[in-house]
Structure 1
Amino acid sequence: MNLASFVTTYMEPEAEDLMVEGLRKNYIDLDQYPQTAEIHNRCVTMLANLYHAPLQPGQKATGTGCIGSSEAIMLAGLAMKRRWKDRRIAAGLPYDKPNMVFGSNVQVCWHKMCKYFEIEIREADVSPDCLVLTAKRARALIDENTIGVSAILGSTFNGEYEDVKSIHDMLVEENERNGWNIPLHVDAASGGFIAPFISPELEWDFRLPNVKSINVSGHKFGLVYAGMGWALWREPEDLPDDLVFHVNYLGGDQSSFTLNFSKGAGNVVAQYYNMLRFGYEGYRRIMAASMENAEHLREALAATGYFTIVDKQHMPLVAFALINSSRYTCFDIQDKLKARGWIVPAYTCSSGAESMVIMRVVVKQNFSSHMANMLVQDILKAIETLEQQYILVETAIATPKEKKHFKDVVLAIQANLRRHQSGLTTRGVC
C-alpha cells in the first residue's frame, strides 16, 4: 500500500462513472459545454466562500481550476510578479531583480516557478527543532524587490502548518514601515481541504487582508483523482487583467488564465460531485476519521520505544524518526517494509536540518485503524530482522578467524542471537 503519496486513490463508483463521461468533453470549450463551465465556476465560488473571500452579493469569485497545485503556484507566482513589476514601473523604479521568499521545506514546484520565470529564490533554512518557515526567518529575507512570501499550510516533510497569521502580521508591519506592498500567498495544497473542517477557528485564509492568493489540491484531501488543483485570488485586482487571455476561435469570447488549454472535464465534474455529495459535514467527518486513525498510528509508533514523533498533529499525517540509528536507519526500515508491500518513504529534511532522517505515513480515507496495526507489526518485524543482521555482523567481526573453526563461528553467532532475542520482543503497542 502506498503511504507516501498525498494523492487520492479511491473514489466512489458513481464519481468514477461521472469522470469517464467527462473525459470526452473538452473542459475549455465553454460554448460547446456550457454546463461544464458553470460547474467549474460553482467550484471556484464554493472554495472562495470556504476560504472567506470578501465577496459582495452577486460578485463572481476570482479563481481557476488547474492540473494541480504546481500549475496553481505557477499562476500565483506570475500574478505576484506582474503586480510587483507594475508598481515598480509606476514609481519609476527598476524591476529587474524580483525575489520570492519561502522556507527550504517548500515543494519542488516553487523552485521550478522561480527558475522558469526568472525570480531570485530567497530560501530560509529550517532547523531540527523547527522544520518550517517562521516570521523571524522570513523577515530577514524580504526587501523592496520581494514579489511575495509563501507560507505553507501543511508541509510536505512533516505535515506542519506554518504560522500564517504570524507571517502575515510581520508583513503588514514591514509594509507599513517601509512603504512596501509585499503580499502573502498560502500554499494550502494539503491543508486547504483539512483546516476548514478540523480547525475552522484557525486564521490562515482570506480573513487575513494581506493574503492575496491561495492554491489547493483537489486531488489530495479534496478527494479527487490526480489532475485537479485550484488557484484563488482574494479580489479581482489581485489577478492582473493583462494575464487573462480572451479567445473566440471556439465559438464565443472565452477568458483563460491557465498554463494548459485543452483537457477533459472529468476532474472538475468529480470535484463538484464531492462537494455536493459530502458537503461541509461530510468532509468534516472524513477528515476527522483520518485524523483519528493518524493519532492511533502515532500512539502505536511512540509506544514501541523506537521512534520519536516529529509531526505536530495538524494533518492526518504521521512523521517519525528513529531514536537510535546507530545500528540501522530509516532507509533500512523503508527497504524492509517495501518487501512487505508497504511504501513508507524515508528522506532527509530540507536545508538546515539535512542530518535529520524521518519517515512519513499519509493517512487517507481508505487507511483504517486495522491497517495501522498491521503496519506497526510489520515495522517491528523489520526492526527485529535488522537487529539480527547487526548482531550477525558484530559477532563475525569480533571472532578471530585464525583462532576459530568456521563451525565455532556459526555456534557463537547462534548463541549471541539467542542472548539478544529476549530484548527484541514487542510491547503490546496495538
Structure 2
Amino acid sequence: MACADASNGGVDGLCIPRFLWEAIDASKFPQRSIEPRMAASQIQGLRNLDATPRLNLASFVTTFMEPECRELMEEAIAVNYIDTEEYPSTEKIKEMCVSMLADLWHADLGASKATGTDTVGSSEAVLLAGLAMKRRWQDRRKAAGLDASRPNIVMGTETHVVWEKLTRYFEIEPKWVTNRPGHYHALNEDLIAACDENTIGVVAILGTTYTGHFYDVEELDSLVAAKNEETGWQLCIHVDAASGGFVAPFVFPDMKWDFRLSNVVSINASGHKFGLVYPGLGWVMWRSRQYLPESLVFHDNYLGKDQITITLNFSKGAMNVVGQLYQFTRMGFPGYREINRHMQHTAERLREGLVKMGSFEVISASDRCLPLVAFHLKDVEGRAYDEFNIADRLKTFGWVVPAYTLAAGNQARKVLRVVCRWDFSPTLTNELLDDLQEALDWLEVHYIYTKDQLDKIKATSIKLAEEKVRSSSTTSKWPSVHRLQSLAERGKC
C-alpha cells in the first residue's frame, strides 16, 4: 500500500497516518495543509483530555439539549444575525424572546414598553446594565449642575467577577460590602448604609455563585425607597439574575424580585444556564426605554438598512437565540416549572445524602435557593485533609466538583459545590454520594498531613536520627545533624 505522503515512513506496506506520529507545532503557523480527517483527529485528540460535561458539576452552563433543537441551531450557525436586512426572521425571533421575558419578569408591556436584548452571556449584559446606570446618574448630575466625576456602585463581595470588570473598564468606584460572619451574602441594611449621593445603583443577586442564596430584593426595594424619600437621591436596583432569572419565576412565583418592584430598573439573566440553551447567551432587560440612555443606542445602515444596536459586540451567530425560542416554545411555563422542580428535588436528595453521611455540613439554603448544594467538612480537630483534597480525589472517578474559599467575611471557610442541572439524574446523585464516601475513606487511611503534623514528623525524624548517631560507634556512616535537618525540611527524612 503506497503512502500518500512519502515522508510518512510506511513500514512493511503499512501507511501510518500523519496525525498518529506528528504533533501539532504551535510555535509557528502551519506551513502545509493536511486532510480533513487528519485535522479533525488531531483536534479531537486534544479535546479528549477534557472532563465529561455532564460530570462537570462545577458548571451552571447547559450541557444537554434535545436533538430537534440542536438541528435547528446547526442550521443557524452560519447566520450572522446582526444583518437584519438579510436575516429578518432572526431579529424577529430575538424580539419574541424579549417580549416573553418581559412578561415572565412582570415588565409593563403598555405605553412604557420594556426594552431588552440578547447578549453573548450575562457578563456582557451586566456591563451594559452597569453602563446604563452610570450614564443616567451622570446625566442627572450634569443637569443639576453637580459634579459627575466620581460614580460608585454598591455590591456585596460575593458578586460575580464581572462586576469588578465593570468598575475597572468603565471607571466606577466599587463600594464592596463584606459579608458578616455566618452570612453568605451582603445584608440589605449594609448595602443601604454604603450608598451616598454618588451611588449609581445597588446590585442584588438572585442566586450567588458561591452558595446559591437569593437576596431579599423586596426588602431591599423598600429600603431604597425609604432612603430616596429621606435624601432626595434616585437610588435604583439592578438584579443580577444570571442563574435565578430562569429559576425563581417557576418555583417561587410569589417571591417579588423583578419589575413588580418599582426601584428595580434592570435585570440580567443567562439563557445558557437555567434558560437551558448551550453557551453563550445572555439577556438584559430594562423596565422601560427611559432607563436605556440614548447615548448607548447606535444606528448604522451599512448592512442595507438603518438598524439599531445596543450591544457591546457586533457580529454573532443566530444559533443561540434560535435555541432559546425553541426552549420557550417547547417547554412553556409548565415545562420550565417541572424541570426546575426536578432540579430542586435532586438538590434536596443530594443534601439529605450528605447530611446522612455525617461528615459534611450543608450551607446552601433549603428554600429560595438555586438548585445547588454547597457544603464543607465538619470542623474536626487534627483532620489531615480538606475540601481541596476531596475535590482532587473525586477527579479520579471523573467528577468535577469545585473546591474554593468563600467571599470576604467568610474567606477562611473552604467549601465544595454541586450544581444540580436538569441532566443530573437521581442515579448520578447516588453514584456521586458513593464516590464521595469512597474518597473520604481513601483520604482517612493515606498519608496526607496537615502542616502541624508535618512539623511534628520532621521534628521526630531528626530526634530519632540524632539518637542513632549518638548511639553508633562509627558516626562517619551517618549523616550530620545539619544534613538531617536539610533532609527533614525537604520531607526526605
Query: What's the CA shift for 1:359?
Result: 0.6
Q: Provide the residue aligned with 1:152 in structure 2.
A: 205
Q: Provide the residue aligned with 2:490 in structure 1.
A: none
Matched, 1:376 2:429: no
- The whole-number CA distance in structure 1 between the counterparts of 2:401 and 2:209 is 14
Is the 8 Å Cα contact of residues 97 and 120 (structure 1) preserved in structure 2?
yes
Q: SS state of the match for residue 23, structure 1?
A: coil
Query: What's the CA shift for 1:139?
Result: 1.5
Query: What's the CA shift for 1:327?
Result: 2.2
Matched, 1:322 2:377: yes
Where do residues 91-170 of structure 1 align in structure 2 (5 Å cutoff)?
91-170=144-223
Which structure 2 residue ranges, 5 or more long, are not aligned?
1-54, 469-493
Q: SS state of the match for residue 321, structure 1?
A: strand
Q: Provide the residue aligned with 1:228 in structure 2.
A: 281
Matched, 1:260 2:317: no
Instruction: Output the amino acid matched with 1:93.
Output: L
Where do residues 251-400 of structure 1 align in structure 2 (5 Å cutoff)?
251-313=304-366, 314-324=369-379, 326-390=383-447, 397=457
Q: Provide the residue aligned with 1:173 in structure 2.
A: 226
- The whole-number CA distance in structure 2 between the counterparts of 1:207 and 1:373 is 40
Q: Provide the residue aligned with 1:61 in structure 2.
A: 114
Q: Provide the residue aligned with 2:5 in structure 1.
A: none
Which of residues 224, 245, 252 is equivalent to 1:192? 245
Query: What's the CA shift for 1:60?
Result: 4.7
Please say which structure displays the higher CA radius of gyration: 2
CA RMSD of aligned residues (A): 1.8
Q: SS state of the match for residue 155, structure 1?
A: coil
Query: What's the CA shift for 1:38?
Result: 0.6
Q: Provide the residue aligned with 2:64 in structure 1.
A: 10
Is the 8 Å Cα contact of residues 385 and 449 (structure 2) preserved in structure 1?
no
Instruction: Output the amino acid matched with 1:43.
Output: C
Query: What's the CA shift for 1:61?
Result: 3.3
Is the 8 Å Cα contact of residues 384 and 448 (structure 2) preserved in structure 1?
no
Structure 1 stretches of 4+ with a deviation exceeding 6 A read 391-396
- The whole-number CA distance in structure 1 between the counterparts of 2:207 and 2:401 is 18
Q: Provide the residue aligned with 1:86 in structure 2.
A: 139
Query: What's the CA shift for 1:231?
Result: 0.3
**Would the alpha carbon gap of residues 391 and 354 (structure 1) be closer, same or farther in structure 2, given more than 3 Å must change?**
closer
Which of residues 26, 39, 43 is equivalent to 2:93? 39
Q: Provide the residue aligned with 1:27 in structure 2.
A: 81
Q: What does the per-residue CA deviation read over 1:309-335, in whole Å, with 9 as the maximum and x for residues that have no partner?
A: 100131210000110353210001011
Instruction: Output the amino acid matched with 2:394.
Output: L
Which of residues 290, 302, 318 is equivalent to 1:249? 302
Normalised to the residue count of structure 2, the TM-score between the two structures is 0.79
Q: What does the per-residue CA deviation read over 1:227-272, in whole Å, with 9 as the maximum and x for residues that have no partner?
A: 1000000011011122100111111111100001000000000000
- The whole-number CA distance in structure 2 between the counterparts of 1:242 and 1:4 is 38
Greater Cα offset, 123-132 or 203-212: 123-132
Query: What's the CA shift for 1:305?
Result: 0.7
Q: Percent identity?
A: 50
**Would the alpha carbon gap of residues 202 and 245 (structure 1) be closer, same or farther in structure 2, given more than 3 Å must change?**
same
Q: SS state of the match for residue 446, structure 2?
A: helix
Q: SS state of the match for residue 81, structure 1?
A: helix
Is the 8 Å Cα contact of residues 180 and 186 (structure 2) preserved in structure 1?
no
- The whole-number CA distance in structure 2 between the counterparts of 1:137 and 1:312 is 21
